Each structure stands twice: as C-alpha cells, then as structure tokens.
C-alpha cells in the first residue's frame, strides 16, 4: 500500500490553483479579459493584462466573468483604459483617490438665491422713491407716488453626462457614484462662477460684466495706488457700503498686496488669525474670471 501524504493548507491551495489553471488553459479560457470578463479582444490578443495577476486573482476574474456573463465590448467607461477608470481598480486596493483641487465658488455663496417653480419669474422692483416737502400751514401738499419696475428672471439649463460600466461599479474600492457626483458638483460650481461674471445672457445667465456699472472710478496713474482703492470705495453710496465686498482678480490682489508706504512697509498686511482678508474693513473675494484690464485704467464699483 502506497504511503499517503497529508497536504498542508498552503500545499492544498497551491495544488487546487494549479489544477484549476490547467483546466482553464485546456479549455482555452485562460485569457479572460480583465477589464470586462470576456474573451480577449484584438487590442489584447495574448491576454497580456493577466500576466501580472496571481493564480488566485486570475481564477477569481475567470469565475466573475462566467457569473456576470457580460460580453459587451462597447463601454463608455471601462477599467481597461487607465484614464477612463482603470486606475480605480489597482492591483493593490486603496480606498481613496488623489483628487485635484478645484477653485471654490465665489459668486453663488454671496448672492441672493430665489427658487423658481416655472421657467420665468417677475420680481417687482423700486423704480422711483417718494419725495417729501416742507410746506407752510396753509400750503397744499405736492403729491408724490412711488413708481415700480419689474425684473424678469429667466432659467437656463446647465447639464453634464457620464457613462460607466457595471464592472467599474463592481470592482472599484471607492464609492464611484459619490465620487463622480462630487466631480460634477465641482465642475458645475466652476462653470457657474464663470458665467455669473461674464455670461452672455443668451442660453446662459447674464454675467455681472454685461451690465453697465453704476459707478466707475478712473485709475489716477499707470499703476494702482491706495488712493484709487479709497476713491473706489467711497464712490459707492453710503447705504450700499455697509455690506459691500471687494471682488478682485488674483493679479490685482497681488498688486495691492505689494503697495508700500514711504518706509517700505506694506500697506495691506494679512493677520495671523483665520479672519478673511479685508480692505478698509470689507472682505476681499478673489474671482479670476474678471478681466485683469477693464479698459482705460478704470476700476468699477456696483450697487
């Protein structure tokens, strides 16, 4: 009677993996496409994608392909193309993605948001105020009535579309739905900020730059000075200055930061606390969709 040999667990796993791999090769199924669980394509006739996989990983991919039975080659977003999602299914799983930093929305957080239930809304607005008069005891009072205008709000549609394969959802170690939703939210915020500043008003919002400014202040010289900033601020009527904010391009912020007094000391110094940057006690918002040159040395203020 031949001696029987007891296999250790590791030896048994190796034996089983080898036997299964041999059977798969015998059936001609050893080149299952890693990206979608199908037979090799013309782009990968030799199953090169599988070369870096261990026997266990190769077996798992094969079984997954059989169970899913997905033979579709046309995927809008597949694991096979690294830039289209392949990096989300790495050999060594990592449940996070290195994300780019996107600029934050500036205008929407500082705007009045009015929900619309239809595609248009008419908002009444003051056109002319009433006038008071000093009169004598027996004099008649001059009539003065308020006048009203109308502001029409139109809706515009901003959309985006992404297509993803079932395999990307199944294999990605991250929550792909939340991740892509976040990407779209950032993209929408970036585009909104751009058109809120310079949008044409045709098929998109009409940007601030498309309106005639209420007040303009001419820059005194070739370079901006502290006097220009002070003149700009006080060109705005007092009733609007309390809640006023400076909306400035980063290039102009740099020029203002570099302004110095006769002793070489910077006029605008940033505090060490977490308070926002301010000029003349009012918050400074950086918005880089503003042209760096507004024309004829002019700086604007609007109410």
Question: CA dist 77 to 68, 73, 166, Å?
Answer: 17, 11, 9
Q: Give the pLDDT score at 175.
A: 79
pLDDT per residue as tens digits for the range 64-110? 544 454 443 223 333 455 555 554 444 444 555 666 667 788 999 99
**248 strand-pairing partners:** 286
Residue for token pair 């700009």: 232
Provide the residue ranges of all domains of the chain, joining segments of one domain with +.
Answer: 14-74, 114-154, 213-301
pLDDT per residue as tens digits for the range 250-276? 888 889 989 998 888 888 876 555 567
Q: Give the pLDDT score at 98.
A: 64
Burial class (CB in 10 A: 0-12, 13-18, 19+), 197: buried
Residues of the chain falling short of pLDDT 70? 1-7, 12-13, 16-101, 270-275, 293-303
Does domain 213-301 match CATH 3.40.50? no
In this structure, what DSSP letter does residue 170 have? H
Q: Give the pLDDT score at 87.
A: 47
Q: Which two tokens stand for residue 274?
A: 């977490």
């Amino acid at each position: 009677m031949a001696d029987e040999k007891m296999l250790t667990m590791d030896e048994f796993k190796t034996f089983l993996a080898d036997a299964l791999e041999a059977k798969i090769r015998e059936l001609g199924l050893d080149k299952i496409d890693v990206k979608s669980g199908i037979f090799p394509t013309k782009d990968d006739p030799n199953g090169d994608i599988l070369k870096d996989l261990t026997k266990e990983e190769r077996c798992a991919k094969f079984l997954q392909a059989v169970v899913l039975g997905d033979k579709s080659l046309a995927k809008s977003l597949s694991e096979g193309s690294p830039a289209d999602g392949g990096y989300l299914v790495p050999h060594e799983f990592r449940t996070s993605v290195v994300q780019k930093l996107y600029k934050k929305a500036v205008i929407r957080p500082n705007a009045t948001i009015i929900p619309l239930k239809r595609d248009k809304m008419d908002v009444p607005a003051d056109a002319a105020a009433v006038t008071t008069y000093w009169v004598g005891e027996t004099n008649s009072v001059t009539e003065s009535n308020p006048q009203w205008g109308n502001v029409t709000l139109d809706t515009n549609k901003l959309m985006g579309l992404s297509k993803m394969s079932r395999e990307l959802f199944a294999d990605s170690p991250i929550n792909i739905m939340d991740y892509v939703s976040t990407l779209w939210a950032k993209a929408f915020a970036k585009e909104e900020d751009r058109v809120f500043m310079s949008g044409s008003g045709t098929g998109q919002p009409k940007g601030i730059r498309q309106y005639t400014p209420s007040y303009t202040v001419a820059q005194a010289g070739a370079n901006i000075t502290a006097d220009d900033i002070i003149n700009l601020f006080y060109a705005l009527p007092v009733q609007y200055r309390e809640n006023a904010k400076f909306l400035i391009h980063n290039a102009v912020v740099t020029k203002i930061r570099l302004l110095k007094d006769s002793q070489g000391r910077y006029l605008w110094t940033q505090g060490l606390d977490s308070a926002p940057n301010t000029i003349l006690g009012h918050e400074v918002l950086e918005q880089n969709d503003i042209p760096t040159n507004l024309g004829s040395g002019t700086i604007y203020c609007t109410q």
